[in-house]
Amino acid sequence: MNLSFGCAVAANLLFTVFEAVLAFKAGSVGLLADAGHNLSDVLGLVLAWFASYLVTRKAGERFSYGYRRTTILAALINAVVLVVASLYIAYRSFEKMLQPAEVNAELVILVALVGIVINGGAALLFIKQSHHDLNIKGAFLHLAFDALISAGVVVSGLLIFLTGALWIDPLVGLIIVAVILIMTWRMLADALGLMLDAV
């Protein structure tokens, strides 16, 4: 599992830097927002990795029940980060609707395709364990949502390239935000239930 986390963190961190640099070059606010969201996911992955390490530590005098609940805490924080990142993307999308700007659609499509490969591949590293551990599920969802966001950026880039309609980019951004919030709500509810020992 450490290898999975290490590969996912390294790949996503490198891609985030790559995406941010090319977002400025393409003049794409949507791509830049995606890079910011990817950075939040790198932080979320590091947090989930640390929680997975704490679970392996034995109970002591101070923490007599051990550290198993840290994975629930990490999942809760991951869900909150996803919600905050989604709200930021929604804000940027509304801003872009009010003030449309030209973008390099070809570059946006290329970078987003790389994002699908990186995030989709990293998500596959966690898919098997995501059914048994809420912390791993949080990491998996972060990466899967990133791949989804990248796919949305590819679609918007293609449509902008074909039609020249700049309002498509922020509209796709808002659709992606809605999907993320719907999917994240369940994980947030599960994490809160476990934290509060719900029946």
What's the rounded Cα separation, in Å, for the pair 48 and 118?
19
- For the ranges 109-113, 127-131, 181-185, 195-199, the maximum mean pLDDT occurs at 109-113
What's the rounded Cα separation, in Å, for the pair 129 and 109?
31
CB distance 103 to 191 below 8 Å: no
Q: How much is the pTM? A: 0.70
Two structure tokens written together for 154? 């590819």
Q: What is the pLDDT of residues 80-93, one digit of tens each?
A: 877 887 788 788 88
Average pLDDT along the chain: 79
Residues contacting residue 94 through CB under 8 Å, at least 6 positions apart: 170, 174
Q: What is the pLDDT of residue 69?
A: 67
